[in-house]
Amino acid sequence: MRKISLLIAVFVLLLAAAGVLALGPSPSWQLTQGAPASCSASSALVMPGVEINVAPGPASEQGVLSAPGNPNLGVTHDTSFSGVGTFGFTVFLTGPYSLPANTPLTLSVTTYHGPNYTGGVAYVSTATWDCTTGTLISLVSGVPAAPVTAAVCTTPLPSGSVVGDAPGGAQIYWGPSADKESNGVVLNPGSYWVVGFDETGEFAQVWLTCDTQLLWVRADAIGPSANAPWNGTPLPSRVVG
C-alpha cells in the first residue's frame, strides 16, 4: 500500500509540473481556447481558459477583439496583476455587435513587464476561433522579436481610472471646451476608461489605448458602468487637464 501511495504521489507531482510547464514564461497571458456562441454580444464577452503566469509581478495586459471588417469590437485591460493558473476573463465591448454565423473572431492580448503597460512588451498571444462553435482556427503565442520587445506604451492608463458607460456614444473633443469639438469623430456606444473631469465638471477625460492621446467628452454623455466588475463604481471626481 505504501508503494502504491508513493506512485500516486509521484504521478500527482508530475501532473502539477506539467501544468506549470504548459504556462507561458513569466510574465504572460496565454490564450488557450475560443468562446462558443460569441457571434453576438451586448456589453461583455466572457473568455475561458487563459493561462496566467506572473510571479511575483505585478505586470499588465491589454488586448483587442476583432473580426473581418470590425477592427475594434472590444478590449481587455488589466493595469496591475499577478498570479499563476488558468482563469476566465472579460472582454469589454466597444458596443453591441452581431456577426453572421461561423465568422472568425480574433483576440490578441499583449502582456507588459510592468504595471500600467510599462517595461516593454513581454508576450503576445493571439487566438482566432469560429464564433458559432468556439473551435480554434489558429493560436499563436510567444515572446515577441527584439524590436517589439522594446515597444512602450506612449499613453499609459492613469492609476485610479474607472470604466464608465456611454450608452448613446459621445462627441469627441480635443480639449475641455465646446470650441474644441472634433468634427465627425465620435465614440461608439460602449464602455470607456474615465480618467477624471475638467475644472468645470462639464467635460470628462477618457483613455482609449496605449497609442491614442487622452480625449474629452461631455460629462453628461458618460456615467458609471452597471456591468461587472464595476457594478456602478463612481467615476473618479479628480480634476484633470
Query: pLDDT tens across 140-185, in order?
Result: 888 876 544 444 566 777 878 888 888 888 999 999 999 999 887 8
Residues 21-69: pLDDT tens digits? 468 899 999 999 999 999 999 888 999 899 999 988 899 998 889 888 8
* pLDDT for the residue 116: 83
**Secondary structure (3-state) at 18:** helix
* pLDDT for the residue 3: 30
**Secondary structure (3-state) at 11:** helix
Q: Is the pLDDT of residue 10 over 80?
A: no
Grid coordinates belonging to 62: 491589454
- Paired with 227 in beta bridges are none
CA 220 to chain CA centroid, Å, is 25
* pLDDT for the residue 211: 67
* pLDDT for the residue 8: 28
For 162-224, CATH gives 2.30.30.40
* pLDDT for the residue 152: 58
**pTM of the predicted model as reported, rounded to 2 decimal places:** 0.59
Residues 95-149: pLDDT tens digits? 899 999 999 999 999 999 988 888 888 999 989 999 999 999 888 888 876 544 4
Grid coordinates belonging to 46: 466572457
Q: What is the mean pLDDT of residues 233-241?
A: 92
Domain ranges of the chain: 24-149, 162-224
> 138: how many CB neighbours lie within 10 A of its CB?
10
Give the closest residue to 202 by CA, choosing from 170, 159, 163, 158. 170
Q: Is the pLDDT of residue 220 over 70?
A: yes
Cell 461583455 belongs to: 44
Cell 458559432 belongs to: 132
* pLDDT for the residue 145: 64
Q: Which long-range contacts (CB under 8 A, 24 or more apart) does 83-88 make?
A: 83/52, 83/54, 83/55, 83/57, 84/20, 84/23, 84/52, 84/53, 84/54, 84/55, 85/51, 85/52, 86/32, 86/49, 86/50, 86/51, 86/52, 87/50, 87/52, 88/46, 88/47, 88/48, 88/49, 88/50
Q: How many helices (H) and strands (E) does the chain have?
A: 2, 15
* pLDDT for the residue 84: 92
Name the band, by pLDDT with cuts 50, 70 and 90, for residue 1: very low
Q: What is the mean pLDDT of residues 184-197?
A: 85
Grid coordinates belonging to 65: 477583439
* pLDDT for the residue 20: 36
